[in-house]
Amino acid sequence: MTQAFRINNGGLVNREKKLSFKFNGKSYFGYEGDTLASALLANGVHLVGRSFKYHRPRGFFGAGVDEPYAIVQLYRNGETEPNIKATEQELFEGLEAKSVNCWPSVNFDIGAINNFLKIFLPAGFYYKTFMWPKSFWYRIYEPFIRKAAGLGVASTKHDNERYEHKYEYCDLLIAGSGPSGLSSAYAAAKNGAKVILAEDKPRFGGSLLTSDVNIGNQSGKDWAEGIIAELKTMPNVLIKNRSQIFGYYDHNMLVMSEKVSDHLPSTKKYHPNKRLWYIRAKEVLISSGSIERPIVFGNNDTPGVMLSSAAKEYLKVYGVLVGRKPLVFTNNDSGYETAIEFKKHGVDPVVLDTRKNPVSEIIDEAKNLGINIKNSYVVVAAQGYKKVKSADIASISEDKKQLGEIENLQCDCICVSGFWTPTIHLASQSGNKTKFKEEIDAFVPGVSKQNETTLGAANGVFTLDETLKTSFKAGSELSKKLTEKDYEIAIPNVVEKKSSQHDKFWCVPLPKGKNYKRFLDFQNDVAVSDIEIALREGYRSIEHVKRYTTLGMATDQGKTSNLNGLQLVSEIENKVVPAVGHTTFRPPYTPVSIGAIVGREVGKHSKPTRKSPMHEWHEKNNAVFVDAGVWLRPRYYKRGDENLFEASKREAKNVRSNVGVCDVTTLGKIDIKGPDSAELLNRVYTNAWLKLPVGKARYGVMLREDGIVMDDGTTTRISENHYHMTTTTAQAANVLSHLEYYLQLVWPELNVNVVSTTEQWAGAAIAGPKSRDLLQKLFPNSDVSNEGLPFMGYMEGDLFGAKARIFRISFSGELAYEVNVESDYGNLMWEKILEVGEEFNIQPYGTEALSTLRIEMGHVAGSELDGRTIPYDNALEGLVSKKKDFIGKRSLQRSAFTAEDRQRIVGVVPLDKQTSIPEGSHLVKDDKAQLPNPKLGHISASCWSVEYDNPFSLAIMKDGKNMIGQKLFAMSPLKNKVIPVEIVSSHYVDPKGERVRS
Amino acid sequence: MLYINCPHCGMRSQNEFSYGGDASVKRPELNKEVSDQEWDDFVYNRKSLRGKHLELWQHISGCRQWIKVERDTATHEIFRTFKADEEVA
């Protein structure tokens, strides 16, 4: 294919570098510097998609971020991405894209039948139709709508691209590199301020790239290039193209999405695809410019109808003609600029101006060039289905109500200009109270909430001279406050053509007997008639009208539709636009890739992974790991073909009969020092701590102020004013914050310091009847006899040269010890334990065996201390002191907590002694009862008792105290199981606790 | 994201902090008779203020100090911050 609509020279594309690309399977050529849109237009392709609701043909409407139509599915380097604007996607060699929202093809789309069914698809149709019969929703309506709607398909494959996040701080952040952005950046940079200048397009310069102006005796474009070149040499300036500031958040935090690799055929090695910048700016200058707004007329969505500024940009930046017989339809002078550009390139445009007799320099120039201008004329309707073929035009009366005789004018594109809408999104997001500016029929920023200043066209200033003056001044003054420097800048002379007043005309009336669709929102297919219906049905608030009709709710956020929608509502309601008000602007300004938002925090990086010092040993010895909070812990050590059940049973059995060793490094450890340490513990734990002697450990339970158990663990008195607290793995961080809270805020008079030492100590639990024999061999010089180291005793020892802490504490219910050494010696400890333990048939055991051992002993853990239970519920009321006060004590008097039938932990055994009870099963009296079957309790933990070789579970059960011996049912609808069970004591094994003391 | 002036560390982003609720709540003294109402007010009952609010934050990924922050709950404006033991005038 030849690029039939590319002019011979001109534009900013690199004609030396030809690029091939494919659209809907067909091959084309474009140039380096093209967007997908400009390259397609150069090839005469105007049909790019189908509309969202009616599947009407869609072309190009804009040339950048405001594009409502040209959304494609992109294929790049084996990956695919939906929702890509062809007007923003830069061309690269081998690019492939496809139309979306059409089937089987963009040329023949079956969904277009909706266009003829539109009478059934009015505003709010999804609230009105598809309501009956109810059963049809899942089977027919929902799948059908799902297939028909949507804009592209997300990939189901893993995204191999990399996305980065970056934090940055600056004095001035400037959004947009047009005339106001450049001049304010320059002034601020000269004052030595740290400046970040962001431009969403690949080229800097904004409107200066396309407007016919002179600054300081150079063309606007050359002036911009000079400023950019100088800014680039300044160390205090960071300038970023392809970078969209899309969100303005609290305390002057803005977020910017930088497209690092989207313009390349593939991402370079070690480079991200996109980079998300979190920028904290002292001052923000919003120079985001303005977007041209359309005039509404019949069939104004036909491919070939586009913004006049877009037509000009395609010509001046890309050297592409959007048509050879253009019709320009305007209510202001901007349309003439486009017409003049056409004329300069040998194309004869016709200009329809809604104004009767406008006079300005620009219009004079157009007249001098011999351009055909029709005043007081409008486009009534575009004709043509997949492409504009002609336009029905007519004269219009002065009151803009009456149309003259309809004439048909041959044309191949209609370039529309309905004046300009300042881009106030960022200002509005920051909390700025916007105001309506009558002279331009649009909202502009009003009172700033944060440190934000809006400049240039975004502030409703449409002359270059004033823009430069105010922007140089703003950049200079805002930076002066921060840097206390005041560099004198001579503001350059500006030559620009003066414009005349625009016409406040925005919507062409329907001719008699015609019912053309006149679209307001091009992406969501919202027409004038839809808004009329919504108002007729009683919707008044603009926020309600928006949601009912979906006006402005598409991915373009109504950049080209909002104001016209407001105009319509205000007209029907007979209110002024500011009384109607605009809907809330919310971030993001443009769609942002989920990948960019997520950043590097995917897969393994979504949270930190903590490993014990013995991790490598576990790996080498076939450990199967499980996530325990942020830790990786061995769940079991696989031998041969063993599964989880077999391995954990073997490991647990070996603890009960010989000796096992378990890595308990992950337990939270808090070092507590200071003369008031005992007093702190006494207030934090429910039991008494003031009389704990040095060298002794004690088990304690701590509550929240509401009486609920927060955590449990043992604390050991190492020396007079030094304690070692352990917490559960999961609660370690919360317990530390809890202690800090009370020490810093509630009882600052207590002289105590707390610090986490979780990672300073490696821990090994040695459990089983042979553990003492093993320990004696490990510490031959220490007396670890029952007298030398009694239950809950503590001593320090020498482990092959490493200083060790030895605690006689037990979670497994067996005779057991925990040995701690400094983390660096963790491996030494672990290997020595296994080496010395060989003669005692030692085996390492994982968390699954650990659970089995504690469950059959009735020891509670996280599944019982679940944030809903008090000490009594866990059979821990014996640890609740009646004499002293402690955190949460007063709450235990609440009537629900003291009720006679208060829930309590029980043991549960299946009657058949075979069937394991799924965790989470409910205990019920009658398995045949009607739903909802009254729940008596729930299974909190299940295991296979190695002591009795049958399943055993723990449950938290209403009136558990009086339920022992009851025969009930455990029901698990999830696993579809009903198991007859008997309630027994939670202390299933060694109920008197003799083993730990043996 | 809020920008909080930690009285110990200086200006830091909100993601270094964790929220701790109303700073004006006083825990009843230990070993003191407390009525149900008083205890409920301490444990549960909070005013959901619109406007200036004195609240606790912990600089959890920084100095680990609990601090008091005077913040407008509607606008997020932060007026002043205090150390835990500083009197709020």
For helices A528-536 and A562-573, angle between their N-to-C axes, nearest 10 degrees: 40
Mean pLDDT of the region A316-324: 97
Helix, strand, coil shares of chain A, percent, nearest 5, are 25, 30, 45
pLDDT at A145: 65
- Predicted local distance difference test score (pLDDT) of residue B16: 97
Q: Does domain A608-666+759-857 have CATH number 3.40.50.10470?
A: no
Q: Give chain B's count of helices (H) and strands (E).
A: 1, 6
Q: What is the chain B residue with the closest CA to A254?
A: B1
Q: Which of A745, A748, A890 sits opposite B39 (nearest CB)?
A: A890
- Of the candidates A224, A197, A200, the residue with the CA atom closest to the CA atom of residue A213: A224
Q: A938 in helix, strand or coil?
A: strand
Q: Which of A941, A761, A754, A743 is nearest to A851 (CA)?
A: A941
pLDDT at A117 over 90: no
Chain A: closest CA distance from residue B77 (Å): 8
Work out the minimum CA distance from B66 to partner chain A, whole angstroms. Answer: 7
Cβ-Cβ contacts under 8 Å for A777 (sequence gap 6 or more): A836
Q: How many C-beta neighbours within 10 Å does residue A901 have?
A: 11
Q: What is the token pair recorded at A535?
A: 């108002």
Alpha-helical (H) ranges within A345-462 are 361-368, 425-429
Query: Considering the domain boundaries, does residue B19 fall inside one?
Result: yes
Nearest C-alpha of chain B: how many angstroms from A167? 10
**What distance in Å separates residue B52's CA from the closest CA in chain A?**
16
Contact B66 A449 (CB under 8 A): no
Domain A898-998 carries which CATH code?
Answer: 2.40.30.110
User: DSSP letter string over A70-97?
Assistant: -EEEEEETTEEEEEEETTTPBP-TTEEE
| A557 or A502, higher pLDDT | A502
Q: Please write the tens of the pLDDT for every residue from A449-473.
A: 999 999 999 999 999 999 999 999 9
Rounded to whole angstroms, the Cα distance separating A195 from A191 reads 10
**Mean of the per-residue pLDDT values for chain B?**
95
For residues A658-679, give the mean pLDDT: 98
3-class secondary-structure state, position A537: coil
**A359–chain B Cβ distance below 8 A for any pair:** no
**pLDDT-derived band at A137, boundaries 50, 70, 90:** low
d(CA A405, CA A392): 10
Domain coordinates in residue numbering, chain A: 14-148, 163-290+422-495, 294-418+501-517, 608-666+759-857, 668-757+866-888, 898-998
d(Cα A583, Cα A541) in Å, to the nearest integer? 9
Looking at the complex, report in whole angstroms how far the Cα of residue B8 sits from the nearest Cα belonging to chain A: 14
CB contact under 8 A, B13 and A890: no
Residue A521 near residue A554 (C-beta atoms within 8 A)? yes
Query: How far apart are alpha carbons A609 and A601 in whole angstroms?
Result: 12
Average pLDDT over residues B32-61: 96
Could you tell me how far CA A763 lies from the centroid of its own chain?
39
- Is pLDDT of A573 > 90? no
For the stretch A913-961, pLDDT in tens is: 999 999 999 999 999 998 889 999 999 999 999 999 999 999 999 999 9
Q: Which two tokens mark A805? A: 């802490």
CB A287 within 8 A of CB A181: yes
- pLDDT of residue A221 exceeding 90, the answer is yes
In this prediction, residues A842-864 reach a mean pLDDT of 97
Best CA proximity match to A258, nearest among A271, A239, A275, A279: A275
For chain B, say whether A431 makes contact (Cβ under 8 Å).
yes
ipTM of the complex, rounded to two decimals = 0.98
Candidate from A251, A741, A746 with C-beta closest to B2: A251
Say whether A608-666+759-857 and A163-290+422-495 share the same fold.
no
> In the prediction, which pLDDT does A77 show?
86
Smallest Cα distance from B87 to chain A, Å: 12
- For chain B, what is the domain count? 1
What's at A921, amino acid-wise? S
pLDDT band at A604 (very low <50, low <70, confident <90, very high): confident
B8 inside domain: yes
Q: Are strands A195-198 and A937-945 parallel, antiparallel or unpaired?
A: unpaired
Neighbours of A933 (CB within 10 A): 16
| Contact (Cβ atoms closer than 8 angstroms) between residue A520 and residue A563 | no
Can you tell me the distance from the alpha carbon of A131 to that of A126, in angstroms, rounded to the nearest whole number?
Answer: 9
Task: Give me the CATH topology for the region A294-418+501-517.
Answer: FAD/NAD(P)-binding domain (3.50.50)
Nearest to A744 among B31, B39, B66 (CB): B66
Report if residue B32 sits inside a domain. Answer: no
Contacting A residues, span 667-696, partner chain B, CB-CB under 8 Å = 683
Q: Is the pLDDT of residue A201 over 70?
A: yes
Q: Verify cis geometry, omega within 30 degrees of 0, for the bond prior to A349.
A: no
Substitution target from A166, A167, A250 for chain B, most B beta carbons within 10 A: A250
Reported confidence tier of residue B38, pLDDT bands at 50, 70, 90: very high
pLDDT in tens, A7-42: 998 899 999 999 999 999 999 999 999 999 999 999
DSSP state string for A897-937: HH-TT--EEEEEEETTS-PPPPTTPEEES-TTPPSSPPP-E
d(CA A829, CA A338): 81
* Residues spanned by the domain of B69: 3-25+43-83
In sequence order, the 6+-apart residues with CB closer than 8 A to the CB of A253 are: A278, A279, A280, B1, B3, B13
Tokens of A51: 């509309």
Q: Does residue A746 surpass a pLDDT of 90?
A: yes
Q: What is the dihedral of CA A543, A544, A548, A550, to 10 degrees?
A: 0
Q: Confirm or reject contact between A891 and chain B (CB < 8 A).
A: yes
- Whether A741 sits inside 8 A of B58 (CB atoms) is yes
Q: ∠ CA(A227), CA(A228), CA(A234), 5° rounding? A: 95
Residue B37 is assigned to a structural domain of this protein: no
Cross-chain residue pair B58–A737, CB shorter than 8 Å? yes
pLDDT, position A493? 95
- Residue A121: what pLDDT? 66
Q: Residue A126: what pLDDT?
A: 61
- HSE-up of residue A811 (Cα within 13 Å, Cβ side): 25
| Cβ <8 Å between B20 and A251 | no
Read off φ and ψ for residue A72, nearest 5 degrees: -125, 165
| Opening angle at CA A53, ends A52 and A58, nearest 5 | 50
A881 interaction partners in chain B (CB closer than 8 Å): none
CB A34 within 8 A of CB A60: no
* The predicted structure's pLDDT at residue A698: 97
d(CA A317, CA A163): 30
CATH number of A14-148: 3.10.20.440
pTM of the model: 0.90
Distance CA A908, CA A669 (A): 33
User: Which residue in the set A431, A748, A885 is minimally distant from B31, CB to CB?
Assistant: A885
Q: In chain A, whose CA is at the least distance from the CA of B26?
A: A746
- What DSSP state is assigned to residue A502? P
Which chain B residue's Cα is nearest to A734?
B60
Asked whether residue B89 is domain-assigned, the answer is no
Residues A477-499 have pLDDT tens digits of 999 999 999 999 999 999 999 99
Structure tokens of A983? 């309630």
Which residues does B contribute to its contact with A (CB < 8 Å)? 1-3, 13, 18, 20, 27-28, 30-31, 34, 39, 42-44, 56, 58, 60, 64-66, 75-76, 78, 84-85
A858-874 average pLDDT score = 96
Q: Find chain B residues with C-beta within 8 A of A253's C-beta.
A: 1, 3, 13
Residue of A nearest to B84 (CA): A745
pLDDT for residue A696: 98
What pLDDT was estimated at residue A584? 81
- Best probe of the A interface among B6, B16, B19, B27, by most A CBs < 10 A, is B27
CB contact under 8 A, A885 and B13: no
Q: Which residue of A has its CA nearest to B32?
A: A885
The minimum CA-CA distance between A896 and chain B, rounded to whole Å, is 13
Instruction: Tally Cβ neighbours within 10 Å of residue A735.
Output: 23
Neighbouring C-beta atoms of residue A663, cutoff 10 Å? 26
Q: What are phi and psi of A381, to 5 degrees?
A: -160, 145
Interchain CB distance below 8 Å, A449 and B64: no
Q: What is the 3-state secondary structure (H, E, C) of A467-534?
A: HHHHHHHHHHHHHHHHHCCCCCCCCCCEECCCCCCCCCCCECCCCCCCCCCCEEECCCCEEHHHHHHH
**pLDDT for residue A132:** 63
| CATH code of the domain containing B65 | 3.30.2270.10
Average confidence (pLDDT) over A41-61: 90
All residues of chain B having their beta carbon less than 8 Å from the beta carbon of residue A249 are 1
Q: Give contacts of A676 with chain B, Cβ < 8 Å.
A: none
DSSP at A996: G
Contact between A372 and A351 (Cβ < 8 Å)? yes
pLDDT by residue (tens digit) across B3-21?
999 999 999 999 999 999 9
Q: Please give the structure tokens belonging to residue A668.
A: 């939270």
Question: What pLDDT, on a 0 to 100 scale, did the predictor assign at position B74?
Answer: 92
Residue A101: band (very low, low, confident or very high) from pLDDT cuts 50, 70, 90: confident
- pLDDT reported for residue A55: 83
B65/A741 Cβ within 8 A = no
CB A392 within 8 A of CB A329: no
Judge: B42–A683 Cβ closer than 8 Å, yes or no: no
**Average per-residue pLDDT in chain A?**
94
What residues of B are in contact with residue A884 (Cβ under 8 Å)? 31
Residue A902 has pLDDT above 60, yes or no: yes
Q: Is A169 on the interface with B (CB under 8 A)?
A: no
Between helix A464-483 and helix A179-190 the angle, nearest 10°, is 30
Tell me if A887 sits within 8 A of A687, measured CB to CB.
Answer: no
* Structural domain includes residue B88: no
Nearest CA to B70 out of B85, B61, B57 is that of: B57
Q: Which residue has the higher pLDDT, A219 or A51?
A: A219
| The pLDDT value given to residue A150 | 63
Q: What pLDDT is recorded for position A129?
A: 60
Q: A278, A671, A890, A892: best mutation site toward chain B, by most B Cβ within 10 Å? A: A890
Fold of the domain spanning A668-757+866-888: Alpha-Beta Plaits (3.30.70)
Phi, psi of A138 (to 5 degrees): -70, -35
Cβ pair A468, A494 in contact under 8 A: yes
Which range, of A92-101, A415-424, A715-724, A776-785, averages the lowest pLDDT?
A: A92-101
Helix (H) or strand (E) holding A215: strand A214-215
Tokens of A455: 């400049």
Inter-chain CB proximity A740 and B58 less than 8 Å: yes
Q: Which residue of A has its CA nearest to B45?
A: A706
A249 touches chain B (CB under 8 A): yes
Q: Do B28 and A890 touch (CB under 8 A)?
A: yes
Tokens of A690: 């003031």
Tell me the backbone φ, ψ of residue A726, rounded to 5 degrees.
-115, 145
Count how many residues are written for chain B: 89
Query: Which chain A residues contact residue B28 at CB under 8 A?
Result: 890
> Top-level CATH class of A163-290+422-495?
alpha beta
Task: Find the mean pLDDT for residues A289-306.
Answer: 96
User: Which chain B residues are Cβ-neighbours of A890 within 8 angstroms?
Assistant: 28, 34, 39
Residue A103 confidence (pLDDT) above 70 = no
Helices (H), strands (E): how many in chain A?
24, 50
Compute the distance between CA of residue A83 and CA of residue A81 in angstroms, rounded to an integer: 7
**For every residue of A627-665, which 3-state class applies, written as one string?**
EECCEEEEEEECCCCCCHHHHHHHHHHHHHHCCEEEECC
pLDDT at A1 over 60: no
Distance of CA A645 to CAs A303, A641, A857, A940, A948, Å? Answer: 66, 11, 19, 18, 16
User: How many A×B Cβ pairs under 8 Å?
Assistant: 53
Q: Indicate yes or no: CB of B66 within 8 angstroms of CB of A741.
A: yes
- What is the percentage of chain A residues whose pLDDT exceeds 70? 95
Nearest-Cα distance to chain B for A278, in Å, is 10
Interchain contact A280–B (C-beta under 8 A): yes
